[in-house]
């Protein structure tokens, strides 16, 4: 497949990388890796509007593939943006939030440590928008209770320093906001993608949840986006 397109954000040398069973393309942390432009809609198919997003809880949608979950978060206040970050694929700059007030961000919900992720039964990773995280000592963080990694969604998803070994930032999901309609679109990813490892690690679970090969299919047109508490049965807090 040759649908991956790349938009140059700054100039570092691209390295070759492949995604088993999907496609092979250039992976460069500094560049946005473009996928289908997909509109975020609610569970009834109506476009999500940034003006009506919760600030206390994250939403879940799948992108760029049918089996790869992501967090949509309204931070409530606009992050400064232009955060310099480093992942296993190199350096990149996180641009900041989008939406009418610039407060909306999105990240892969697959933990950058050992790939824990939310499924319909349970999630070890969640956004604590108003409740203080015991591990972080504050609210406004993404916490993975599997091994207590904390990520800051206002700082490009970078790991918050703790006594835990450093872990790369969460993969950024790049969003576009239509100011005329207040609608949101996912358009690509930025940072270190771990899709190949994810599909390998959870091959059986993903087959059971989505059907054979479906989890690896690229999203198109729209992606249903619901509150994490609606999506999953049990949400760990730590």
Residues that bind ligand FES (CB under 6 A): 111, 113-114, 116, 144, 146-147, 149
Q: How far is the CB of 99 from ligand FES (least distance, A)?
A: 27
Cβ proximity to ligand FES, 185 vs 202, nearer residue: 202
Q: Rounded distance, CA 233 to CA 122, Å?
A: 5
Cβ proximity to ligand FES, 54 vs 148, nearer residue: 148
Identify whether the C-beta of residue 85 lies closer than 8 Å to the C-beta of residue 154: no
Q: How far is the CB of 222 from ligand FES (least distance, A)?
A: 29
Cβ proximity to ligand FES, 105 vs 112, nearer residue: 112
Q: Rounded distance, CA 191 to CA 196, Å?
A: 14
Q: How far is the CB of 238 from ligand FES (least distance, A)?
A: 10
* ∠ CA 63-201-173, rounded to 5°: 20
* ∠ CA 53-54-56, rounded to 5°: 155
Q: Rounded distance, CA 211 to CA 214, Å?
A: 6
Q: How far is the CB of 180 from ligand FES (least distance, A)?
A: 39
Q: Rounded distance, CA 183 to CA 46, Å?
A: 10
Q: Residue 161 half-sphere exposure, CB side, CA atoms within 13 Å?
A: 0
> Across-strand partners of 77?
none
- Collapse the DSSP code of 11 into the 3-class scheme (helix H, G, I; strand E, B; otherwise coil) and give the result: coil
Cβ proximity to ligand FES, 42 vs 146, nearer residue: 146
Q: How far is the CB of 136 from ligand FES (least distance, A)?
A: 13
Token pair listed for 78: 């606009």
Q: Rounded distance, CA 149 to CA 161, Å?
A: 9
Cβ proximity to ligand FES, 12 vs 201, nearer residue: 201
Q: How far is the CB of 150 from ligand FES (least distance, A)?
A: 9
Q: How far is the CB of 122 from ligand FES (least distance, A)?
A: 13
Cβ proximity to ligand FES, 85 vs 112, nearer residue: 112
- Collapse the DSSP code of 178 into the 3-class scheme (helix H, G, I; strand E, B; otherwise coil) and give the result: strand
Phi-psi region of 109 (alpha: psi -120 to 50; beta: other; left: phi over 0): alpha
Cβ proximity to ligand FES, 150 vs 174, nearer residue: 150
């Amino acid at each position: 497949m040759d649908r991956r397109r790349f938009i140059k954000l700054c100039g570092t040398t691209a390295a070759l990388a492949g995604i088993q069973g999907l496609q092979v393309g250039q992976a460069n942390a500094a560049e946005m890796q473009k996928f289908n432009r997909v509109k975020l809609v609610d569970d009834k198919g109506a476009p999500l509007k940034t003006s009506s997003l919760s600030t206390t809880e994250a939403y879940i949608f799948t992108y760029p593939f049918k089996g790869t979950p992501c967090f949509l978060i309204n931070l409530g206040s606009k992050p400064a943006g232009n955060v310099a970050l480093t992942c296993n694929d190199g350096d990149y700059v996180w641009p900041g939030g989008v939406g009418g007030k610039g407060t909306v961000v999105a990240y892969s919900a697959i933990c950058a440590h050992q790939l824990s992720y939310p499924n319909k039964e349970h999630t070890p990773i969640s956004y604590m928008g108003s409740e203080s995280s015991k591990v972080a000592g504050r609210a406004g963080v993404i916490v993975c209770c599997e091994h207590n990694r904390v990520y800051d969604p206002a700082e490009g998803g970078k790991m918050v320093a703790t006594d835990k070994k450093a872990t790369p930032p969460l993969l950024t999901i790049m969003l576009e906001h239509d100011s005329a309609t207040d609608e949101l679109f996912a358009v690509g990813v930025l940072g270190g993608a771990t899709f190949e490892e994810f599909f390998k690690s959870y091959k059986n679970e993903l087959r059971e949840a989505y059907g054979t090969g479906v989890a690896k299919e690229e999203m198109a047109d729209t992606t249903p986006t619901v509150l994490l508490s609606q999506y999953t049965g049990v949400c760990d807090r730590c």
